[in-house]
């Protein structure tokens, strides 16, 4: 992510929401739960699984954290009533992790309870490294109560191979493996792209060796090819792993995977906090950021 891209995207943030929305649209289902459910239904129809994420993180008040819980309870009911193939993903800082661990555990426990009632799987996203220990502790507490909870892990963190072993010890593991999206110090995180890929594959191998279920969250075609080679070598059946991609990213790749008989789950973000999320997406894709900026500046 270059300084220029950062600067461009910061400038984009000053444009009116309506204009930004034109470009954010592919990445976000919409501002409301009903928009999220519509997107999920369309993806299911095309053969994809889904995971629904209410946008928002770093909640600064108990009131906002409680609102997020209420949204997730409504989401669990909404998914169940629509009868679709989806689960839920959530961020612990949205539930107040940086305010109180115990209250976050209680809040996420309520959401997990609602998911259990509706027969839904709940995944805990992984955030920046200041939250890693607390995220895995909270996961292990919920995992000791039920197997319908999973977590995510980042291949760029040097600690992750040790963590995955510990997480497997807590009971059969359903884990999303991703590269990692936060800025971390080179002391704790790999910065070399190839090294991150190798760690991703090592994490995948470890989970499979321990009888777990890896959800491979990447749009990196080289990494996907290497994962597919391992899947073939191990003669896995498609119910033993899945691929995951973000809404609006890697559409051709996901279609190729589905056609070849693999499971693909699309991460569907929705909610009123769409602008901050979209600006982050633009920062990750400099070509898109330049394109948007050029179009916004073009005379009508």
Q: Quote the CA–CA distance of 231 and 5 in Å, as a whole number.
A: 37
Contact between 90 and 129 under an 8 Å Cβ cutoff? The reply is no
Comparison of 78 and 250: residue with beta carbon closer to ligand FAD: 250
Footprint (CB under 6 A) of ligand FAD, residues 14-53: none
* Min separation Cβ 106 and ligand FAD, Å: 22
Catalytic residue among 107, 123, 176, 265: 176
Active site residue 125: yes
* Min separation Cβ 277 and ligand FAD, Å: 10
Binding mask 236-275 for ligand FAD (x = CB under 6 A): --------xxx--xx----------------x--------
Footprint (CB under 6 A) of ligand FAD, residues 156-185: 176, 178-182
- Window contacting ligand FAD (CB under 6 A); options: 1-9, 17-25, 35-43, 214-222: 214-222
Does residue number 154 form part of the binding site for ligand FAD (CB under 6 A)?
yes
Contact between 15 and 232 under an 8 Å Cβ cutoff? The reply is no
Tokens of 54: 């209410």
- Window contacting ligand FAD (CB under 6 A); options: 96-104, 113-121, 202-210, 212-220: 212-220
Contact between 12 and 279 under an 8 Å Cβ cutoff? The reply is yes
Q: Quote the CA–CA distance of 259 and 217 in Å, as a whole number.
A: 18
* Min separation Cβ 221 and ligand FAD, Å: 7
* Min separation Cβ 243 and ligand FAD, Å: 9
* Min separation Cβ 254 and ligand FAD, Å: 10
- Window contacting ligand FAD (CB under 6 A); options: 15-23, 77-85, 142-150, 215-223: 215-223
253 contact partners, CB below 8 Å, separation of at least 6: 219, 221, 224, 245
Q: Which long-range contacts (CB under 8 A, 24 or more apart) does 189-192 make?
A: 189/129, 189/156, 189/157, 189/158, 190/155, 190/156, 190/157, 190/158, 191/156
Size of the residue set binding ligand FAD (CB under 6 A): 23
Active site residue 176: yes
Does residue number 9 form part of the binding site for ligand FAD (CB under 6 A)?
no
Comparison of 185 and 299: residue with beta carbon closer to ligand FAD: 185
Does residue number 152 form part of the binding site for ligand FAD (CB under 6 A)?
yes
* Min separation Cβ 89 and ligand FAD, Å: 7
Tokens of 240: 């033993």
Contact between 161 and 202 under an 8 Å Cβ cutoff? The reply is yes
Binding mask 274-293 for ligand FAD (x = CB under 6 A): -------x--xx--------
Catalytic residue among 107, 125, 254, 265: 125
Chain residues in the site for ligand FAD (CB under 6 A) = 125-126, 152, 154, 176, 178-182, 217-220, 244-246, 249-250, 267, 281, 284-285
Catalytic residue positions, numbered: 125, 176
């Amino acid at each position: 992510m270059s300084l220029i891209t950062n600067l461009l995207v910061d400038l984009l943030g000053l444009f009116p929401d309506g204009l930004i929305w034109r470009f954010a649209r592919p990445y976000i289902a919409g501002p409301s739960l009903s928009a999220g459910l519509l997107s999920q239904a369309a993806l299911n129809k095309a053969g994809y699984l889904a995971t629904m994420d209410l946008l928002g993180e770093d909640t600064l008040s108990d009131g906002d954290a409680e609102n997020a819980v209420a949204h997730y309870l409504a989401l669990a009911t909404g998914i169940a009533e629509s009868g679709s193939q989806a689960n839920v993903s959530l961020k612990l800082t949205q539930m107040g992790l940086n305010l109180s661990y115990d209250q976050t555990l209680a809040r996420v426990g309520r959401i997990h309870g609602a998911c259990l009632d509706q027969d839904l799987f709940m995944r805990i996203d992984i955030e920046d490294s200041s939250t890693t220990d607390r995220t895995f502790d909270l996961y292990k507490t919920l995992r000791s109560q039920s197997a319908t909870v999973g977590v995510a892990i980042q291949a760029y963190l040097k600690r992750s191979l040790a963590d995955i072993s510990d997480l497997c010890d807590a009971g059969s593991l359903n884990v999303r493996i991703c590269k990692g999206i936060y800025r971390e110090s080179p002391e704790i995180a790999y910065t070399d792209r190839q090294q991150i890929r190798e760690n991703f594959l090592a994490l995948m191998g470890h989970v499979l060796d321990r009888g777990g279920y890896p959800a491979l969250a990447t749009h990196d075609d080289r990494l996907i090819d290497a994962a597919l080679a391992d899947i073939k070598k191990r003669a896995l059946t498609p119910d033993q792993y899945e691929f995951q991609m973000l809404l609006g990213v890697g559409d051709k790749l996901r279609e190729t995977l589905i056609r070849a008989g693999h499971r693909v789950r699309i991460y569907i973000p929705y909610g009123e906090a769409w602008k901050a999320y979209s600006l982050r997406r633009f920062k990750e894709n400099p070509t898109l950021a330049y394109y948007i900026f050029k179009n916004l500046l073009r005379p009508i």
